[in-house]
Amino acid sequence: MYTLGEFIIENRDKFLYSTEALLRLFSSIKLASKSINKEINKAGLTEEIIGSSGFTNIQGEPQQKLDHFAHRAFIESFKSRNVVCGIASEESKDFIVIKGEKENIFQNKYVVLIDPLDGSSNIDVNIPIGTIFSVYIRKTPIQMELTIEDFLQKGNKQILAGYIIYGSSTILVYTTGNGVHGFTLDPSVGTFYLSHPNLHFPKREKIYSINEGNYARFPEGIRNYIRYCQEKRRPYPYTARYIGSLVGDFHRNMIQGGIYIYPKTVHFPCGKLRLLYECNPIAFLTEQAGGKASDGKKRILDIKPINLHQRTPFICGPVEMVSKLEEFIKNEK
Ligand code: P6P
């Protein structure tokens, strides 16, 4: 069985950028994810790491203690590998500049955008949660100071995107534009092994994932699509699955065939999910797995970001399901 490192080296000819840089990026991601995984797995046993930290994040949402732990774990691990020059995190209002050592052979070329622990409100009830990451090459020359423009790049410029799902097993799923591949952590040796090569949405779609508690407040096109899903019988009926954790819902839908929808609502008029460190990486994975990702009208990866924490309506899944929903949205009165 390939380890993640062996797989990257085996496929180095398909990666357009420095394989050593990619190995260092993953070395940071693996280190942090193993440390987070350890904390999550004992969350039920100790008061000091579950529950709210008492702070709120930039979004004004209660920050869970593990959110802060995960944020720090990634910052420290990226600092130590000397390959990243800047990080934008859901847990930090502004981007964080990482000063590389003098002999930084990567000349501080890579920026990372990350949701350190998405769905963290589910920690206390043992529902799968995840880290979502997105990597770009900086736009500004390396001699210059990093600017916000290095982070506000369209999703179609990503060189690497992925997530780690902390569930019944811990799986790292990523793409560099050459398919989607999943690696399962063997905690007994602390190694990620290739377990899901070339992940792809299956031909048969069967799941729709949306928070139907907001049904009365959805736009008409979304309500019509939900009814369409509920009434569909041929060639087979759809089933509803929604666990309130984007990584958990997306991972299941990519493997079993399903659409994930978080539209605008009265409470979130621009949608709830963040474009840069949730929707863009998941959209890159979606397209690489043969699916489609849009805001209901426009391809997610073509949206020009205007601020770090901007939100967008988000739909991702099999092409036919997403196109059908876009049709309902288009035909809204
Ligand atoms: P709601 C978690 O907070 C998250 O950002 C996603 O992981 C998840 O899909 C969504 O929000 C759940 O939101 O409003 O349905 O509880």
> Could you tell me the CATH number of the domain that includes residue 70?
3.30.540.10
Q: Examine the domain organization and report whether 215 and 96 are in the same domain.
A: no
Q: Examine the domain organization and report whether 50 and 163 are in the same domain.
A: yes
Q: Examine the domain organization and report whether 239 and 264 are in the same domain.
A: yes
- What is the distance in A from the centroid of ligand 1 to the CA of 275? 14
- What is the distance in A from the centroid of ligand 1 to the CA of 164? 17
Give the pLDDT of residue 49: 62
Give the pLDDT of residue 51: 66
3-state secondary structure of 188: coil
- What is the distance in A from the centroid of ligand 1 to the CA of 76? 27
Q: Where are the beta strands (DSSP E) in 138-277?
A: 160-166, 170-175, 180-186, 191-196, 207-209, 239-240, 258-262
In the block, which residue shows the tokens 């043969």? Answer: 290
- What is the distance in A from the centroid of ligand 1 to the CA of 55? 19
| 235 preceded by a cis bond (ω within 30 of 0) | yes
Instruction: Tally Cβ neighbours within 10 Å of residue 180.
Output: 25
Best of 267, 268, 272, 276 for a ligand 1 pocket test (most atoms within 8 Å of beta carbon): 272
Distance CA(190)–CA(193), nearest Å, equals 10
Residues of the chain with pLDDT under 70: 43-51, 58-59, 100-107
Does some domain include residue 201?
no
Give the pLDDT of residue 235: 87
Q: Examine the domain organization and report whether 99 and 244 are in the same domain.
A: no
Give the pLDDT of residue 136: 98
Residues 6+ apart with CB under 8 A from 176: 14, 15, 22, 159, 160
Q: Examine the domain organization and report whether 220 and 169 are in the same domain.
A: no
Q: Examine the domain organization and report whether 50 and 178 are in the same domain.
A: yes
**Is 1 buried (19+), middle (13-18) or exposed (0-12) by CB count in 10 A?**
exposed
Q: Examine the domain organization and report whether 182 and 160 are in the same domain.
A: yes
Instruction: Tally Cβ neighbours within 10 Å of residue 229.
Output: 20
Best of 57, 222, 262, 311 for a ligand 1 pocket test (most atoms within 8 Å of beta carbon): 262
Is residue 291 within 8 Å of 319, Cβ to Cβ? yes
Does some domain include residue 128?
yes
What atom in ligand 1 is closest to the CA of residue 130?
A: 7
Which helix (H) or strand (E) segment is 118 a member of?
strand 110-118
- What is the distance in A from the centroid of ligand 1 to the CA of 117? 12
Residue minimizing CA distance to atom 3 of ligand 1: 119
Instruction: Tally Cβ neighbours within 10 Å of residue 157.
Output: 12
Give the pLDDT of residue 99: 82
Distance CA(274)–CA(314), nearest Å, equals 9
Give the pLDDT of residue 121: 82
Distance CA(183)–CA(95), nearest Å, equals 29
Domain C-terminal end among 139, 171, 196: 196
Instruction: Tally Cβ neighbours within 10 Å of residue 139.
Output: 15
- What is the distance in A from the centroid of ligand 1 to the CA of 244? 5
Residues flanking ligand 1, CB < 6 Å: 118-119, 121, 211, 244-246, 249, 272-273
Domain C-terminal end among 169, 196, 223: 196
Give the pLDDT of residue 81: 83
Distance CA(179)–CA(199), nearest Å, equals 7
- What is the distance in A from the centroid of ligand 1 to the CA of 10? 37
Give the pLDDT of residue 48: 61
Q: Examine the domain organization and report whether 231 and 188 are in the same domain.
A: no
Six-digit token string for 197: 């090569």
Give the orientation angle of helix 319-330 with respect to helix 220-231, to 10 degrees: 130
In one letter, which amino acid is 235? P
Residue minimizing CA distance to atom 16 of ligand 1: 244
Best of 56, 122, 207, 246 for a ligand 1 pocket test (most atoms within 8 Å of beta carbon): 246
**Residues forming beta bridges with residue 191, ordered by sequence position:** 186
Give the pLDDT of residue 62: 72
Q: Terminus-to-terminus CA distance in the chain, angstroms?
A: 54
Does some domain include residue 202?
no
Does some domain include residue 186?
yes
- Residues of 104-128 as b/e, b for ≥16 C-beta within 10 angstroms? eebebbbbbbbbbbbbbbbbeeeeb
Domain C-terminal end among 141, 170, 196: 196
Alpha helices in the chain (DSSP H): 4-10, 19-41, 65-81, 220-231, 246-256, 280-288, 319-330
Query: Can you give the CATH number for the domain in which 288 is found?
Result: 3.40.190.80
- What is the distance in A from the centroid of ligand 1 to the CA of 165? 15
Q: Examine the domain organization and report whether 227 and 315 are in the same domain.
A: yes
Q: Examine the domain organization and report whether 55 and 93 are in the same domain.
A: yes
Q: Examine the domain organization and report whether 18 and 107 are in the same domain.
A: yes
What atom in ligand 1 is closest to the CA of residue 260?
A: 9
- Strand bridging mode 314-318 / 258-262: antiparallel
What atom in ligand 1 is closest to the CA of residue 213?
A: 15
Does some domain include residue 133?
yes
Domain count for the chain: 2
Q: Examine the domain organization and report whether 20 and 132 are in the same domain.
A: yes
Q: Where in the sequence is the domain holding 167, given as residue range(s)?
A: 4-196
